[in-house]
Amino acid sequence: MKDKVILAYSGGLDTTAIIPWLKENYDYEVVCCCIDVGQGNELDGLEERAKLSGAAKLYIEHITDEFVDEYVLPCVKAGAVYENKYLLGTSMARPVIAKKLVEIARKEGAVAICHGATGKGNDQVRFELGIKALAPDLKIIAPWRCNDTWKMQSREDEIEYCHAHGIDLPFDASHSYSRDRNLWHISHEGLELEDPANAPNYDHLLVLGVSPEKAPEEGEIISLTFEEGAPVALNGKKMKASEIIAELNTIGGRNGIGIVDIVENRVVGMKSRGVYETPGGTILMEAHTQLEELILDRDTLAYKKGIGDKFADVVYEGKWFTPLREALQAFVESTQTYVTGEVKVKLYKGNIIKQGTTSPYSLYNESIASFTTGDLYDHHDAEGFINLFGLSLKVRAMMEANTKK
């Protein structure tokens, strides 16, 4: 019997061409594995396409809820945003995909896992760190780094290669954006975006929604309910977190929410420009942030911001299966015990506008915060506090004055 290789399969031209390439160069039996994390109709026709391309078997693993509950929500709770803009849509999905690839490899008794990530991108790092952490014995094959055997450098080359191997599939050589989609987001790279001097062609580019200019003239008010940092209801209706995100994608998309144009620093060292659509995720992250404003004390909130930035770096760099990520997540979870309440926002032409936040654990006390003097705060107490708080400044100023004399 031939050795088996597990191919991370999307059904696109790259991974379709990889099937005969693996058989030709490694003489492996190719088992394709598509991990469904909410990419929608991209899964249509995969089984027939994989078999026509020479795969022995195709697994389609539907794990959207696992993706959301175990990978997305920890990032929401952490407030993890890479370089102040990117909500980690692709980054969060890669570790769970790697985990499932390893599980299928063990089930099939495979000796290797193959992925179609390029040698310039982040995904090669994320996939391979995940595989190394979970299955250090498995061989990893990355065709785009195999210069001696992978000779294809364009879509035309791949189509010609497929035809030469008797694979006639509905792909053409026309260029389009390079995209990655899951329930949380869709990313766009390539074409006019490769030059940062160009404005994005949103009429041609957007998939999940519309630009703010084309959003309705009337705003839309929604409410989100959280329990211990996790969303549990939308507009008062109890729903799974994955269902909430799906519905928020629709609502946010039509209101022009969550479109980000960013030049980011990739793990491999280069800068790259992309546009991300994250309508539901943007609303969810903002609502969670607004709730934490009421509930977390000043020191915890300030320290948690740094933890969130580090959590984002760890996830972006593919280090999910590490002690550091586990430790950071443990801290975040400890802060979420009282992050429970309801957040109302208005969505209007790309903006998320506060409409009121409530929580049984709010630290906001109107008696203290109001300009009207209450029983819990005596204005005269501030004088002594300021004297002590500014004592070091005063001493330094006195020293400098004496020195000048």
Q: How far is CA 218 from the centre of its chain?
A: 29
**Contact call for residues 287 and 258 (beta carbons, < 8 A):** no
Of the candidates 155, 178, 261, 325, the residue annotated as catalytic is 178
278 Cβ contact list (under 8 Å, min separation 6): 87, 89, 184, 185, 258, 260
Of the candidates 10, 14, 181, 187, the residue annotated as catalytic is 14
Of the candidates 36, 53, 91, 123, the residue annotated as catalytic is 123
Give the strands of the sheet with 29-36, arranged side by side.
Answer: 57-62, 29-36, 4-8, 112-114, 139-141
User: DSSP code of 269?
Assistant: S
- Scanning the structure block, which residue is given the tokens 């088992």? 31
333 Cβ contact list (under 8 Å, min separation 6): 77, 229
Q: How many CA atoms lie within 13 A of 29 on its CB side?
A: 12
Rounded CA separation 162/159 (Å): 5
DSSP strand E in 283-349: where? 341-348
- Scanning the structure block, which residue is given the tokens 């539901």? 280
| 178 noted as active-site residue | yes
Q: How far is CA 124 from the centre of its chain?
A: 16
For residue 86, what are the β-bridge partners? 82
Of the candidates 49, 94, 126, 181, the residue annotated as catalytic is 94
What amino acid is encoded at 66 in this protein? E
| 36 noted as active-site residue | no
Distance of CA 130 to CAs 24, 116, 140, Å?
A: 27, 15, 11
Catalytic site positions: 14, 94, 123, 178
